[in-house]
Chains A and B, each alone.
Chain A
């Protein structure tokens, strides 16, 4: 009798186990894609294992092979600065998306808890949609809810294969130019023509070029400068009010500031002013009117005195309305924004790359944890006094990236990153552009662009068109090679 009872119990256990197994959904977690984190190869399989074990519950069973799996989960792990995002998509064998989910965190300590939450979330969604063993899920779910505005979401991933007709389009529906010869260092908007096409002023160290955007960038005009001259910046604005923006070139002639102003006339470039002893930069202070501002240099200081507004009077250019700068501020690394109450906040990127927000009185209110900006645009000044120590008869002065303030008060800054930035040797390899908003205490990130594997040499934001126009160096100048650049237009919806 005892044996009979044991047999029945065993049979019952086996049956229940088999029945339970028959009700589970087999899920295979494929290897993760990892972006922006060290130890990529190691993380790919580690994250795969971690998520697979956290997906398993009474309804879902992780399996080691995609063969026979009901659902395949693909995951990605992306790190921007200290923030990470883990995204996963679950598809059935037919390739239909069943569920998407993500988790984010701000340090490595958050990673495993985030994986746990992600696993639970996915498992729940999968269990709700999938009939085990069925070829098609019987329940369809609405597409994943849009991310809350305070959550960092990577942009949609670029397709694995870019077809020929897509080569001039970015993943967000933007636009990308053809490869332009040379290591280009600056870009500024030119005219908008009647067919709504846009012109760009683009410079490298020794030339100013006018391009027209169509299907590709068409070179309309070009002027070159002597080896003694060096272009270190380009901005544009319509100061004379004729409806056509002028190009303001910040130039060094030897060690003297000798900037120039050019206009477009009959598809040619015409110089209207030269030897102007100013640095130029176009800035929309407080996100209001976009103007050209100027600063001077002196024998002892690279950036001398206040920043002034540049005005055109007849054929002459003059400076007026001085603006006091906060600590670390110069023409190239500062801007100003206002909060909803109208209070004004100067903001700079200091020499170490940190964004600093000041009160109107000059008190430092906030400083970023991550570094932003980053530039390879520089000029040199004689430094014989220190050559015995430095070994370099010149001092290198780098010009920081633009800080853009939008009419809504948002702040846009680029972030160049790289393998190393040592002294005067800059090796930027990738970039992203960030938007922040002031919440009264800190700058909150609103969005950032997908990381690009190139150095961002310059950019501007066209608020009317909601476009980021980015100049990227896709190949640095080599011993013989001139390098290559491209213009990318990204829609900011």
Chain B
């Protein structure tokens, strides 16, 4: 299947390259700059390079008498698109991140904010060719490109190397895709790797109802240690999704079922334990995710509702000792449910390098969220969100470490912003989480007495 897909993609690229006339190049630029000034009482310590990286917010980040810290971080992105003609363009996308004061005169990503700056820190996010086959409804995207699943990103929302063939016709949008996540280091190229195959269909039943379905196949063959792990794990995902508009309400619902071989933790790492994942032979996965979001016009703004259930597993670690797992296997650090509009419970769409959340990788969570976005004037806006979340399953079941409750906590956040210019906003936001007993207490009587995590930020956001 892989070879066929690649052959189709290569043939498509060749056809496009020979069919298109040579015309003047159009240069298209996009980009963004975001700056966060934050006061918070949670987050990891500096790494050895000074860089921050996103992660799940767990102990010891949560602490009794957690120290307050303040930091400023910034992110710039530049996208350059070289458009040869209506049917062919090269898309490139770069990123420059740093936290003020992190380090300088060095080489590495996410740094360069210390005095002196002068750091080689440009990251390449995307480089891909986007082309149409003239006189057909076919579009191809080939290269390192952004990809989000059809479920709001709960499985994967990342930049991945791969190829997509997309056909739009008669109300259909059909996609076939192949993505290579990782290769194990120290192996022959393409010998031990993790790939995702995508078949996705969307159909506009009416202008206000869209129905979609998809089948994802993950093949994990990262194992390099004989006798350890499952050398050929096939994990299947089938799902349905739908968007409907019943004025004034817009509704999205989705469900995704995951079954087959347990792929183990799906991460971007290709060293250490990752090269032997899935770590357990013959472990199976039987997991699912359900979600719904709704928006409705109300007063001067929009009322938002969202809910999600993503299955978990009681065993620790999930799928250990040859046992099957019920935990949904999302891509670690590359999945999200932005519709919740949380800052601490779940990842937020605006977070950058200090991105931390109680549920960072979408798994083992049940949540309900309600919010309201208000346009106070044409320039002044505000929003408020409340969300509560529970673990779908408590871990360490039957042991003294078993959490006293599956209640993760309740977050209240609010933002007030002003559109300084069409493309630029300045806003002040705050988020506070009342930690639940999933974190605070255990069945064994431990009372962690963690401080409730909070943050307050000033954000400047400029996008073009």
Q: How far is the CB of A164 from chain B (nearest CB, A)?
A: 35
Q: How far is the CA of A338 from the CA of B209 in the complex (A)?
A: 38
Cross-chain pairs A/B with CB under 8 angstroms, 17 sampled: A254-B297, A277-B247, A296-B207, A327-B86, A328-B86, A384-B152, A384-B349, A385-B152, A387-B349, A388-B148, A388-B157, A389-B93, A391-B32, A391-B34, A422-B29, A423-B464, A424-B423
Q: Tell me the chain A residues, 228-255 only, with Cβ under 8 Å from chain B.
A: 228, 253-255
The reply to whether the CB of B451 lies closer than 8 angstroms to some CB of chain A is no
The reply to whether the CB of A305 lies closer than 8 angstroms to some CB of chain B is yes
Which of B266-274, B371-379, B406-414 forms contacts with chain A?
B371-379
> Secondary structure of the B side of the interface?
strand
Q: How far is the CB of B135 from chain A (nearest CB, A)?
A: 10
Which residue of chain B is the closest to A371 with respect to CB atoms? B26
Contact between B32 and A390, CB atoms less than 8 A apart: yes
Contact between B243 and A424, CB atoms less than 8 A apart: no
Give every chain A residue within 8 A of B301 (Cβ-Cβ). Answer: 228
Q: How far is the CB of A224 from chain B (nearest CB, A)?
A: 10
Q: Tell me the chain B residues, 339-376 only, with Cβ under 8 Å from chain A.
A: 339, 349, 375-376
Which residue of chain A is the closest to B423 with respect to CB atoms? A425
- Known A-B contacts A228-B300, A254-B302, A425-B464; the reply to A298 vs B247 at CB < 8 A is no
Not counting A390-B32, A392-B463, A423-B79, a sample of 14 additional A-B residue pairs whose C-beta atoms are within 8 angstroms of each other reads: A227-B375, A227-B376, A227-B377, A296-B207, A298-B210, A299-B243, A300-B243, A304-B207, A384-B338, A384-B339, A384-B349, A388-B146, A423-B28, A424-B30
Give every chain A residue within 8 A of B463 (Cβ-Cβ). Answer: 390-392, 424
Contact between A479 and B420, CB atoms less than 8 A apart: yes
- Known A-B contacts A253-B297, A385-B148, A389-B146; the reply to A297 vs B83 at CB < 8 A is no
The reply to whether the CB of A256 lies closer than 8 angstroms to some CB of chain B is yes
Which residue of chain B is the closest to A385 with respect to CB atoms? B148
Give every chain A residue within 8 A of B202 (Cβ-Cβ). Answer: 300
CB < 8 Å: which of A205, A253, A305, A425 contacts B378?
A: A205
Which residue of chain B is the closest to A225 with respect to CB atoms? B378
Chain A residues at the B interface, C-beta cutoff of 8 Å? 205-206, 226-228, 253-256, 277, 296-301, 304-305, 327-328, 350, 352, 384-393, 422-425, 479
Contact between A391 and B338, CB atoms less than 8 A apart: no
Give every chain A residue within 8 A of B29 (Cβ-Cβ). Answer: 422-423
Give every chain B residue within 8 A of A228 (Cβ-Cβ). Answer: 297, 300-302, 375
Contact between B208 and A298, CB atoms less than 8 A apart: yes
Contact between A256 and B297, CB atoms less than 8 A apart: yes
The reply to whether the CB of B31 lies closer than 8 angstroms to some CB of chain A is yes
The reply to whether the CB of B248 lies closer than 8 angstroms to some CB of chain A is yes
Q: How far is the CA of A224 from the CA of B452 in the complex (A)?
A: 45
The reply to whether the CB of B437 lies closer than 8 angstroms to some CB of chain A is no
The reply to whether the CB of B53 lies closer than 8 angstroms to some CB of chain A is no
The reply to whether the CB of B461 lies closer than 8 angstroms to some CB of chain A is yes
The reply to whether the CB of B173 lies closer than 8 angstroms to some CB of chain A is yes
Give every chain B residue within 8 A of A424 (Cβ-Cβ). Answer: 30, 422-423, 463-464
Which residue of chain B is the closest to A387 with respect to CB atoms? B349
| Pairs of residues from A and B, 4 with the lowest C-beta to C-beta distance, nearest first | A391-B32, A298-B207, A227-B375, A392-B463
Give every chain B residue within 8 A of A277 (Cβ-Cβ). Answer: 247
Q: How far is the CB of A83 from chain B (nearest CB, A)?
A: 17
Give every chain B residue within 8 A of A422 (Cβ-Cβ). Answer: 29-31, 464
Give every chain B residue within 8 A of A350 (Cβ-Cβ). Answer: 86
The reply to whether the CB of B77 lies closer than 8 angstroms to some CB of chain A is yes
Contact between B26 and A385, CB atoms less than 8 A apart: no
Give every chain B residue within 8 A of A226 (Cβ-Cβ). Answer: 300, 375
The reply to whether the CB of B441 lies closer than 8 angstroms to some CB of chain A is no
Q: Tell me the chain B residues, 33-49 only, with Cβ under 8 Å from chain A.
A: 34
Which residue of chain A is the closest to B418 with respect to CB atoms? A479
Contact between B30 and A423, CB atoms less than 8 A apart: yes
- Known A-B contacts A228-B300, A384-B339, A422-B464; the reply to A392 vs B32 at CB < 8 A is yes
